[in-house]
Structures are given as structure tokens and as C-alpha cells.
Homo-oligomer: A and B are copies of this chain.
Amino acid sequence: MKANRPSAPTLRDIAEAVGVHTTTVSRALNPRTQNQVGADTVRRVRKAAKDLGYQPNPIALSLRTSRSRTVGLVIPDITNPLFPPIVRGIESALEAGGYSGWIVNTDNDPQRERKLIESLRSRQVEGLIVATARLEHPLLAELHAAGVPLVLVNRRVEGIDVPCVTADDAAGVSAAVAHLAGLGHTRIAHLAGPQTTSTGAARARAFRHAVRDLGLSDEPGLVVECAQWSEEAGASAARSLLDARTDVTAVVAGNDLIALGCYDVFGERGIDCPGDISVVGFNDMPFLDKLRPPLTTVHVPHHDVGVEAARMLLDGIEDPERPARSMLLPVSLVVRGSTAPR
């Protein structure tokens, strides 16, 4: 910031005020080293520090120690309503641990992602929470191999042993399918998320298992993959589904945005939801209860996802040898107005 404020007091200022060496001040102020210095000196130093309003300079500290008490948050797009609650959870847990987070948006562009992560590393972030993982993700493998503490949220990566925090996708999809089956639906479709993401693949797999277990139709045509986790991609997949099959009475969408894409197509084609077709989403984004119709969906505890991810990362930073444990957070079906009996 501007320099025309009286520049912040440093260790040296305190040292002069107290009449000791800067080293002594440093030790007196550092909880880990204050036993190396006389109790009385500690008192005087701390008092002077308080009086002068001393604040340690994180830049200098970072330069000296190569640590920053900061972690990077790698998000595809903060504009996606899924992420703000997760970020909020992450930040509250980081704050509790004395850390803070630096957010970057990758726009799902691998080049951009690489650049941004490079810049985070040069800022000495001590670890990364990554929400952009794809099943094949060489960059993450590199980072992992380089020993960078890493936690994945909402995603997994194949072949590397990195801790991750995800929702229980299989349970969520099962609950959704069971709910629809209970309502009498027998030809249920799945608008799957991108199969390049672990989440997309896991939910699609869970869907196939669920319909088979319940003895429902499991023809391949009932699963359509969306190119993105977006409303547009969901709409376009919904169009191809409905063009190919006229007998579908219920849809399990890969996530809420994809479900919104269905709503768009229903509007275009005059399809009544839930009268003609029922829809279930996934995630329970904010405000779904106020949609027309209110969207039945699978609730994911996003704040908790963030909290757990941050805790895991801090644990990993503290003890790099700690084995990578993953965490599956429980989900719950929230029944609203977009599902109805057949």
C-alpha cells in the first residue's frame, strides 16, 4: 500500500525501544523460542511490541522460511454456485488453523491451470486444494510426485494416492433411483456428467447398478453423457435423449445445472414436469426450492466438504508422511416438486 503512513514497526524498532538485539526480540515473540530468553526480557519485549502495535511482516517471514501460512484454492469458476459454499467452508477451517487461502479460477483450461498453479507456488503456498481434477490429470500427478501437499474436493484422480473429500455419489444416486422407482417409474434415464471426471463416472456407474438392482430397464440408450457440467450441456443432452426415446418418464441428472438444462428443454417442448417427466438433480445448490417446480435433488454438505478438505490439507502440511486418507461425506435425498408418481 501507500508508504505515506508511518511505516510499520519492525523487530528493530522494538529492539531499540527495549535496548536488546533484534534476535532477542524475535525469540521473545516466537512462542517456540521464547524459553531461550529471560522471563523479564520477554515481558518487556512483549509490552513494547504491543505498545508499538507491532505486526510481523509476513513477506519477510515468507522469504526467510519459505513458508507462507497460505494455501491455494484451484477452482474452475467461482461463478458456479457449487463452489462458494465450499470455499467458505475451506476458509473457515483455514482461519482456525492460522492459514488463509488464495483463490484462482482456471476456466477449465489446463494451460491456464498450469500457469496459475505455478504462480501460486512461486508465492510459496504450502499446499493446494483442487476442485478441477480430471481422471487423467498429469499436472496433479507431477505435483504429487514433487511432494506438494494436495487435497482434492469433489473429485478423484486415477493412479495417484492423493487425499480427497467427496460426497457419497453412489448413495446419492441410489437414493434418487429408489425414490423414482418407488413412485412407479420403470424407464429412468441418466444425463451423466463428463466421464472424464471421477464424479461423472462414479454417478453413471452407480446409476447402472441401481437400475439393475431394482430390476428396471438398463438399456444403454438411457444414459446420455453431457459434455460439461453446465445448463447448456444438460439441455443439449436432454434434447438428444428425448429425440431418441419417447418412453422415458424420469431423469436422474448428473447435477443440478444439468437438471436446469432439462427444465429449459421441457419449456421448449411443452413437457410438463413432473406431470410428464420427473427430474432429480444432485448437489442441492442454493434456491432450488424456489424453482418451478422446486427441484428434488441430493443434498451435499458443501460447507463440510470445504471444512474437511482444509483440515486434511493442514494435517498433510504438518505431517507430510501422514498416509492419504479420503473422506466420503454422507448425502441425503431432498424430495421437492419435480418428482411425482407415474
Interfacial residues, chain A to chain B (CB-CB below 8 A): 1-5, 8, 55-60, 62-63, 66, 68, 77-79, 81, 84-85, 87-88, 91, 100, 102-105, 118-119, 121-127, 146-149, 260, 263, 286-287, 290-294, 320
Bound-complex Cα distance A102 to B260 (A): 32
Bound-complex Cα distance A1 to B313 (A): 12
Contacts of A122 in B (CB 8 A): 8, 55-59
A149 touching B105 in the complex, CB below 8 Å, given contacts A59-B123, A78-B84: no
Bound-complex Cα distance A84 to B287 (A): 16
Copies in the complex: 2
Q: Evaluate contact between A1 and B59: CB separation under 8 angstroms.
A: no
Query: Which 6 A-B pairs rank lowest in CB-CB distance, beginning with the nearest?
Result: A292-B292, A2-B147, A5-B146, A79-B84, A4-B147, A59-B63
Contacts of A78 in B (CB 8 A): 78, 84, 87-88
Contacts of A105 in B (CB 8 A): 88, 91
Q: Evaluate contact between B320 and A58: CB separation under 8 angstroms.
A: no
Contacts of A77 in B (CB 8 A): 88
What would be 5 A-B contacts, judged by CB atoms less than 8 Å apart?
A4-B147, A81-B84, A88-B105, A100-B104, A263-B290
Task: Select one of B63, B91, B291 contacting A290, CB under 8 A.
Answer: B291
Task: Select one of B8, B84, B291 contacting A84, CB under 8 A.
Answer: B84
Contacts of A290 in B (CB 8 A): 260, 263, 291-292
Bound-complex Cα distance A78 to B105 (A): 14
Task: Select one of B2, B103, B124 contacting A1, CB under 8 A.
Answer: B124
Given contacts A1-B149, A55-B118, A260-B290, 19 further A-B contacts (CB under 8 A): A1-B121, A5-B146, A5-B147, A55-B122, A57-B122, A59-B62, A59-B68, A59-B122, A59-B124, A63-B63, A78-B78, A79-B85, A81-B84, A88-B105, A260-B287, A263-B290, A287-B287, A287-B291, A290-B291
Contacts of A84 in B (CB 8 A): 78-79, 81, 84
